[in-house]
Amino acid sequence: MANDRETIMAKVRGALAPLKGRARMPDYDGGIELARKRANAADPMAEFAERLGAVNGEVVADPAALAATLRTRGWTRGYCDPALWPRIGPHFGADFTVETRFDRSRVDDYQFGITRGAGAIAETGTIILNDATTSSRLGALASWAHVAVISRGSLYSDLSEAVAALGQDPNVVWCTGPSKTADVEGILIEGVHGPGAQIALFVD
């Protein structure tokens, strides 16, 4: 499978090589604002927690609270970004099995994945992931529960502020709560195309 992927990607790279440059990014009006009341706009953290909670996501206060939340739900096998584990690991007990390398051949073994988030948007309760900060995309998207560890300084007030700060990373994922679909007879089901639980942990 890996060889097939490389064959396809080599063809894509070959097709793109002759191009002189990428298409120009579209103009974005930074003055756009959503026409709705933002009751907690003065407190971005409170607003983010409220918005994320409205779509069945949650914010935990610290690594100890994260470990307690996972343990309570019986999620004791998972993956953690190796850069995060020295800080988070001491709060997890011996009842946890946590790996710092995501094994693609055992994707169903991971009940949770802890990865770095590129940022978050208070206005919408959205977590931002990108390739530059995510050690394993599968660790973020394939586990039942995804925990995004986000710097407090990367909590943006609104969409326009977040877009302006994102830079040029070509692969950005916007996660607003757990994965959802209502394709089947309009019935909302969570955890179909990605995590069934979305947790945010902010750190300094």
Structural domain contains residue 95: yes
Structural domain contains residue 1: no
Tens-place pLDDT, residues 44-69? 999 999 999 999 999 999 999 999 99
Distance CA 201, CA 114 (A): 10
Quote the number of domains for the chain: 1
Nearest to 146 by CA among 109, 166, 175, 103: 175
Structural domain contains residue 28: no
Q: Supply 192's token pair.
A: 């179909």
Q: Above 80 in pLDDT, residue 35?
A: no
Q: What's the chain's average pLDDT?
A: 88
**For residue 153, what is the domain's CATH number?**
3.40.50.10420
As a whole number, mean pLDDT of residues 121-137 equals 91
Structural domain contains residue 165: yes
Structural domain contains residue 26: no
Structural domain contains residue 18: no
- What pLDDT, on the 0 to 100 scale, is given for residue 127? 97
User: How crowded is residue 59: how many other Cβ atoms within 10 Å of its Cβ?
Assistant: 19
Containing structural domain, residue 109: 44-203
- What pLDDT, on the 0 to 100 scale, is given for residue 29? 60
